Structure 1
Amino acid sequence: MKTPLFAVTLSALALTLSACGLTEPNAPAASGGDGQISVSSTSEACDLSVTEVGSGNLAFRVKNEGTEVTEFYLYAEDGLRIVGEIENIGPGLTRDLVVRATAGDYVTACKPGMVGQGIRNAFTVTESGEDLGITGVDAADIEAAETQYAAYVRDQSQELVDATGDFLKAWTSGDDDLARRLYPTARQHWERIETVAESFGDLDPKMDLREADLEPGQEWTGWHRIEKDLWPPATGYVPLTAAERQPFADDLMANTEVLQERVQTETYTVSDIGNGAKGLLDEVAAGKITGEEDIWSHTDLYDFQANVDGARVAYEGIKPLLDVKDAALSTDIGERFDALQELLDGHRTAEGGFVFYDTVEQPQRKLLSDAVNALGEPLSKMTGAIIL
């Protein structure tokens, strides 16, 4: 049996606690699932009310009691594979994460300042005997959705290898005009499966780290290091020589091939697919809307479109299940995808690409942001509507 990407069948559901019948803010975690785990995040600590619970539906209520924006992660036993996360929790705010967990060892982490490895703790889920299957839907539809999504990820990873190779060949040969044209289209294959790539915790920092997120002494490699060399700032930057470019190209190509190799044996549950869709939309809200993703090239709209592409593929794959469990929600999500796509299409060039994001005025950015938020709210309910 292949091991699912997100640690056996554990899945993160971005739902409110009330949706699971959990309304008391400080209710203790139950021994057999359906329990609430309180998490207090500060600059020095990540305190959980319990660190061992029974398998089933688990609800993490994360309160930021520090002074910096924080994040909360649930990792697999290896401390690398992300199985659930909550981002951008401001000081004084509380966010909820519901997971359906099988027995096993996990790692929790709070990341004050949203940097580094975070403050980590061991977390154990024991066997409670609770059935974690999906009820009320055809098993054949479940299998089809999971099989099709795995094939999609493998296809995109192969396309990423091929497109990255062409891009790097242009860059290392000194054909910067061609490299600039290939940069945004090659990256789209990465962005369509970004949450899958990010779940391998060792690859994302090497391949997609932005300069603003570097820690002291950390080596900067990957797409955005090359981006800066192709679109250098007007002052204070020394372009890389041909000899200096080659190691960065070799490193990005090698890591791309590692990603492609790893996804060949990965499988994905319905929960993984649904939460991945929401995660891709969160990527849009966190970096593409603000223009922080491709700060040198301003090709953010290509990444934006690719994240939406990946989220929509995920939604459409499990749509037959959602149509059965919550037809109204399914319709709402589909309509909001259409509305967002219509806005994105309004920023296309005559050649079918996208305008540079620094030419998009603030009112138009606000419309895009509103459409992302309007889609994100029902999309966050999708996995729970199917699983619970």
Structure 2
Amino acid sequence: MSQHEWMQAVQNEQMWLHEVSAGRMTQDDWFIHLAKNGTPLRTLMLATEQGGSEKPVLAPGPSPQNKRLVLVMDPEALQAIRLQTPGSPRLMAESAWTLVPKTLRAGHDGFVVNPGHPTRMTLDRTTAARLWREYAVAQLGRKGGGWVPVRDEQMLLVEYAKDTYTVAVYATEEDCEQISRQCGGTTTFIPWSRIARRCQEVGAEAPFLQFGYPEQVMLEARHMEALIRQSDDTPPLQQTPSPNTSPSATPTASQSADAQAEESAASAQAGLQALEQAIRQGQGIANGWEVCRALAELQSVWVIVDSRGELVPLTQDSGHLMIDLFTSESHAMALLEDWKQKHPDTPTLTPRLVPARPLFEAWAPKMPVIWINRGTPQAWTSVTGETLPYVLQLSGS
């Protein structure tokens, strides 16, 4: 982003903040705007000793036991903040997608935005979850589905109001796995069209996201529509059986689309599991052929992308171009969090599941070194830049 573009972005944020503070715009409208533009949240960090570690600045919450994380969304607001502890303050940008769950799970009572400034506002735990919901919809729509605890081939239902139930959906496989263990179910990735249909069957507009976690929040009908639209899924059809007709064994068009979407998601997940298994069977280059064959059969792969959706190489090695591939979102997030700690000025980056073949075709001419699951026990590196051309050759390119 150029200096001019950055200044325009800041001025745009200032305008929105003042509109919300003046009551001419709701907080939810602002949240939608932030998520649509991928705007990071800027936390105030403070190092109290020279060369010491930084810690986020906290403000008093509703009780002495509660604290709220300080956000500075307007650069002018930084001048209005009076720190009780001397030190070197610095702003650190992070997406609400990761920051809100981390903050709420740490026990903090949400955020204080621009303390001491006319645009000051408080985002308690419930409001912070609504903010996170908008970012989550943008992320989950690109995945094509969500993780759902399934038991006896039925999606887990949760009661969100008296005698009112809906599907429980989770943003990551790890979060879902913890709930699945508690309820004796299995963690299953399910397309949004099928989730929407099940919600419809039990009379709910949308699923409950992250049920059982501090950031839990109910999705609305508009979110369900956006998720299906973003994932290029087929929306569920409302069907009322005629009393004069008997049930038909022929699947409807929407049911066929559900089955195809579910089969595609399962196939993509199986390919990633096969790749990880090939890596586990032997480290280094000894099992290179098995890894390359698994790469050639991949439908999708996790990478780290910028705000434009383009893969970003996370390396400072000037000798060789290197790109990272991952078999799961959690592996990608672990490397990304480590990179952000070492490079706090990094612009907004996020893990994304992308089609494998177009990615390989775009990068093969550049002859990059491939590193899969860097920083994990299931890591593998190609050493040379000949991997992608060989993978395309195996896949018949």
For normalisation by structure 1, the TM-score amounts to: 0.29
Structure possessing the higher relative contact order (Cα contacts under 8 Å, 6 or more residues apart) = 1
Q: Which has the higher helix share?
A: 1
Q: Which has the higher strand share?
A: 2
Pick the structure with greater CA Rg: 2
For normalisation by structure 2, the TM-score amounts to: 0.29
